[in-house]
Amino acid sequence: MVLLMIAAIGLMRNRIGVVLGWIVQLLVVAAGFLQPAFFIVGAIFTAMWTYCMIVASRLDRNTIDRNNRTETR
């Protein structure tokens, strides 16, 4: 699982990295069936992951808007 996490980090610039990141999050939560503490860890990391995805998309939109405004000047 650690290798999947490292691969997801390295691929974050591509869509596959984001998808792989979500898969890793699901695996961590699913590990809660083997070790119940992973439900808590999975919930915390999934919340952080979701927050990062929301903020990243907002930053991307702002960057695109700013670039479009400077091109029209």
Cα 21 from Cα 72, distance rounded (Å):
36
29-69 confidence digits (pLDDT tens): 999 999 999 999 989 988 998 999 999 999 999 999 998 88
- Cβ–Cβ under 8 Å, residues 52 and 60: no
Q: Which residues contact 46 (CB under 8 A, 6 or more apart)?
A: 25, 28, 29
> Can you give the pTM of this predicted structure?
0.72
Amino acid 73: pLDDT: 63
